[in-house]
């Protein structure tokens, strides 16, 4: 497989001791979880994680601390996922992108009345302190579950935009879809993800799912 | 006057491109009267922050002792 040209540079200020294989392997489970969420294919996820660990081991520098190593290794993985998606995107058809959300009309009707105004229950109320919640495992468990529940292609495009940091123009171009289609898909993803986070974390008193 | 349903589309579009003048005016007018949409808009921005933290690996860097569940 062609090596991505985009592997991140080793952070400045790194010492010269070399990366321990143990330190890298301890990150493997986390890396797998990330890759799997994004790719929804265990085999590909395992391949890319393995390649990323090998790529990291080949570099001869080490890092000031665990978190720096982690950030760096995840950046390598992220670039490999991007390369993979770029290739895979060419085989995705337009209809499978737009039609993978069968219950979209129902979700809209559940949220808005016939005049397009919020229904009482779903009307958004302010979320309690997200920054504080982001320090808890429970919060991230809810978040991952919500990401996982997005329709597959909708979720993939949302992840390309918000997780991998593509601009939406770039996503459209790569997938060969129009800007407005791309925006519609992102809008659906946000509406659904917000709703899921709202019931799972934002107002747990009224949780329904 | 745009409905809340249409407003949620504008709020998402705002995350992707600069709004047109007409959209900006509609959005501002709507938000003054609609707390639901004002909260929705704020939450989309929060979701983006959460995603950024997630992409930086924060989810796996959490100290289990810090949470309510810890």
- The per-residue pLDDT for range A125-162, each reduced to its tens digit, is 999 989 999 999 899 999 989 998 888 778 878 888 88
ipTM (interface pTM): 0.88
- Across B57-70, b (16+ Cβ under 10 Å) vs e yields bebbebeeeebeee
Q: What is the mean pLDDT of residues B4-33?
A: 96
Return the closest-CA partner of residue A70 out of A17, A133, A28, A40: A28
**Number of Cα atoms under 13 Å in the Cβ half of residue A47:** 10
Distance from CA of B56 to the nearest CA of A (A): 7
- Residue A10 confidence (pLDDT): 54
Q: What is the domain extent for residue B37? A: 4-57
Q: Which CATH number fits domain A21-89: 3.40.1350, 1.10.3680, 1.10.150, 1.10.1740?
A: 1.10.1740
When CB atoms are compared, the residue of A112, A136, A193 closest to B4 is: A112
The whole-angstrom separation of Cα B70 and Cα B58 is: 17
Is residue B70 situated within a structural domain? Answer: no
Domain count, chain B: 1
Task: Assess if residue B67 is contained within a domain.
Answer: no
Task: Categorize the per-residue pLDDT at A98 as very low, low, confident or very high, splitting at 50, 70 and 90.
Answer: low
**Cα A21 from Cα A14, distance rounded (Å):** 17
Domain membership of residue B43 (yes or no) is: yes
**How many angstroms from the chain centroid is the CA of residue B43?**
3
Query: How many angstroms separate the CA atoms of A10 and A60, rounded?
Result: 9
**Which are the contacts of B32, defined by CB distance < 8 A and separation ≥ 6?**
none
- Looking at the predicted structure, is the pLDDT value of residue A2 above 80? no
pLDDT of residue A56: 85
Local confidence band at B68 (pLDDT 50, 70, 90 cut-offs): very low
Q: Considering only A14-23, A143-152, B40-49, which range has the smallest mean pLDDT? A: A14-23
Name which of B1, B11, B14, B47 to mutate to probe chain A: the one with the most chain A Cβ atoms within 10 A of its Cβ: B47
Q: Supply the angle between the helices B35-55 and A152-162 in degrees, to the nearest 10.
A: 80
Domain with CATH 1.10.1740 in chain A: 21-89
Q: Pick the more confident residue, A102 or B36.
A: B36
Q: Report the interhelical angle of A28-39 vs A152-162 (nearest 10°).
A: 120
Name which residue leads in pLDDT, B36 or A54: B36
Whether B18 contacts chain A with CB within 8 A: no
Q: Is residue B22 part of a domain?
A: yes
Please determine, for residue B27, whether its predicted confidence score (pLDDT) is greater than 60.
Answer: yes
Per the domain annotation, does B18 fall within a domain? yes
Q: Decide if pLDDT at A63 tops 60.
A: no
Contact B67 A165 (CB under 8 A): no
Does residue A67 surpass a pLDDT of 90? no
Residue B66 counted as domain residue = no
Per-residue CA distances from A159 to A81, A85, A142, A188, B36 (Å): 11, 11, 16, 13, 26
Reply yes or no on whether the pLDDT at B64 is more than 60: no
Q: Find out whether A200 and A142 touch, Cβ atoms under 8 Å.
A: yes
Report how far Cα A208 is from the mean position of its chain's Cα atoms: 24
Q: Residue B41 and residue B30: Cα distance in Å, rounded?
A: 12
Q: Can you point out the beta strands (E) in chain B? A: none
B-chain residue closest to A122, CA distance = B36
């Amino acid at each position: 497989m062609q090596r991505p040209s985009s592997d991140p540079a080793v952070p400045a200020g790194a010492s010269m001791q070399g990366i321990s294989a143990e330190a890298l392997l301890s990150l493997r489970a986390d890396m797998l979880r990330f890759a799997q969420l994004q790719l929804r294919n265990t085999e590909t996820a395992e391949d890319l994680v393995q390649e990323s660990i090998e790529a990291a081991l080949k570099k001869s520098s080490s890092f000031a601390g665990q978190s720096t190593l982690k950030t760096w290794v995840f950046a390598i993985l992220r670039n490999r996922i991007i390369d993979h998606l770029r290739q895979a995107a060419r085989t995705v058809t337009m209809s499978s992108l737009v039609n993978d959300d069968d219950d979209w009309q129902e979700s809209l009707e559940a949220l808005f009345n016939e005049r397009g105004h919020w229904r009482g229950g779903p009307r958004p109320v302010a979320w309690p302190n997200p920054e504080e919640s982001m320090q808890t495992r429970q919060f991230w468990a809810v978040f991952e579950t919500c990401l996982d529940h997005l329709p597959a292609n909708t979720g993939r495009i949302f992840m390309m935009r918000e997780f991998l940091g593509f601009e939406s123009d770039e996503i459209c171009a790569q997938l060969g879809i129009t800007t407005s289609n791309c925006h519609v898909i992102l809008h659906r993803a946000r509406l659904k993800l917000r709703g899921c986070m709202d019931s799972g974390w934002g107002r747990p008193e009224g949780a329904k799912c | 006057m745009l409905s809340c349903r249409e407003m949620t589309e504008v709020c998402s579009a705002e995350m992707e491109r600069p709004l047109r003048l007409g959209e900006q005016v509609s959005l501002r007018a709507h938000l003054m009267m609609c707390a639901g949409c004002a909260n929705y808009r704020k939450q989309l921005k929060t979701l983006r922050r959460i995603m950024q933290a997630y992409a930086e690996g924060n989810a796996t860097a959490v100290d289990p002792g810090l949470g309510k569940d810890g």
